[in-house]
Structure 1
Amino acid sequence: MSFENLLKVTVDFDTSHIIFPTIIAVILGILFLAILVTRGRTIFASIGSGPWWPVGIDHLRFFGTIAGTVLYFLAMPAVGDIYPNTGLGFYLCSIPYLFAMSVLYLHERGRKQLIIAGLNAVIAPSLVWYILSELFNISLP
């Protein structure tokens, strides 16, 4: 092995898109283990002694968040396949997802709150999409 090879960078574009999800999955796994190590006894004690399901949980928000997030991640590659290599799968799926999550967690759904949620749902993904795909040239799904 020579020192010339240390400065060479090759990118396999067929698998380069899975680098960041892999990093995030590893970080989340480490954080999960840290929670289990530091709070595991409390968690397992509460599961064993109390009711299996948390009392007073907001079922609509809990299951709505899970269903919306699963739908978001399933839709993103499908929409991205329609517009390949543009990041529009992320962009076009993030706007309705962010709006739906915002409306789901609103306590009052008046006109003003819905307008703010709508503006947030359009502006935030637009900025993220522009910064990542245009300025940093990072490919999005």
Structure 2
Amino acid sequence: MADGSSLLKVTIDFDQSHLFFPNIIHWILAILAILIAISYGPKLLRKAKSKVDKSGEKAKKVDWLRLLGTLVITIVYFSLMESVGDIFPNMGLGFLLTSIPFMFLLSMLYVHEPTRREFVTISLSSFISPLVAWYVLAQVFNISLP
């Protein structure tokens, strides 16, 4: 080849290289979710409909607060993680600083009437768990976190 390029030459864009495997995983999960929905969806819908018809009872009410709250908190968590990580680049603090409130809010959402003891337990676990995960992944194994 006249320009000196070769099929054996590999160039890596290190600014984007950390996105390679997450993109592969996203596509695999999306394809699997579609396959599961196609394979089992109709059967599950028929089964749910027949249970309602046979028992004569309505299906249980959906807890919309927790369902929508979980969706909103999760979307905000993933949306903010990279932005916060950009403030402190290459330190994994985007993961750490967004995981603490994410875990706290999600846990509080699912506790119906939190006691003082439950509040303290949730607070401690919301702080300690992401801190341990961040330390092990980012510091011990040197894995790049957002």
Q: Measure how far apart 1:43 and its partner are.
A: 4.3
Cα displacement (A) at 1:10: 6.2
Separation of aligned partners in 1, 2:144 and 2:43: 41
The one-letter amino acid paired with 1:82 is I
Displacement, 1:132? 1.1
Q: Are residues 1:33 and 2:34 paired?
A: yes
In 2, the alpha carbon distance for the partners of 1:62 and 1:136 equals 35
What does residue range 101-112 of structure 1 map to in structure 2 within 5 Å?
Answer: 101-112=106-117
Match of 1:76 among 69, 73, 81: 81
Distance 1:103 1:70 in 2: 17
Cα drift, residue 114 of structure 1: 1.0
The offset of 1:75, in angstroms, is: 1.0
- Equivalent of residue 57 in structure 1, options 50, 59, 62: 62
Relative to structure 2, which stretch is displaced further, 16-25 or 109-118? 16-25
**Alpha carbons of 1:115 and 1:23: their partners in 2 closer, same or farther (altered >3 Å)?**
farther
Pick the structure with greater CA Rg.
2
Change (3 A) 1:131 1:11: farther
Shift of 1:24: 2.8
List structure 1 segments (4+ residues) > 2 angstroms apart after TM superposition.
8-12, 42-50
With normalisation by structure 1, the TM-score equals 0.79
CA 1:114–1:11 in 2, change beyond 3 Å: closer, same or farther? farther
Q: Please state how far the C-alpha of 1:44 moved relative to its aligned partner.
A: 5.0
- Runs of 5+ unmatched residues, structure 1: none
Correspondence 1:1-141 to 2 at 5 A: 11-45=12-46, 56-141=61-146
Q: Pick which of 105-114 and 9-18 moved more.
A: 9-18
More displaced 10-residue stretch of structure 1: 80-89 or 31-40: 31-40
TM-score by length of 2: 0.77
Cα distance in 2 between the residues matched to 1:115 and 1:64: 22
Give the count of matched residue pairs. 132
Deviations 1:55-105 (A, max 9, x none): 501011011011101111111111111111111011000000000001101
Identical counterparts, % of pairs = 46
With over 3 angstroms needed to count, the CA separation of the structure-2 counterparts of 1:33 and 1:90, relative to structure 1, is same
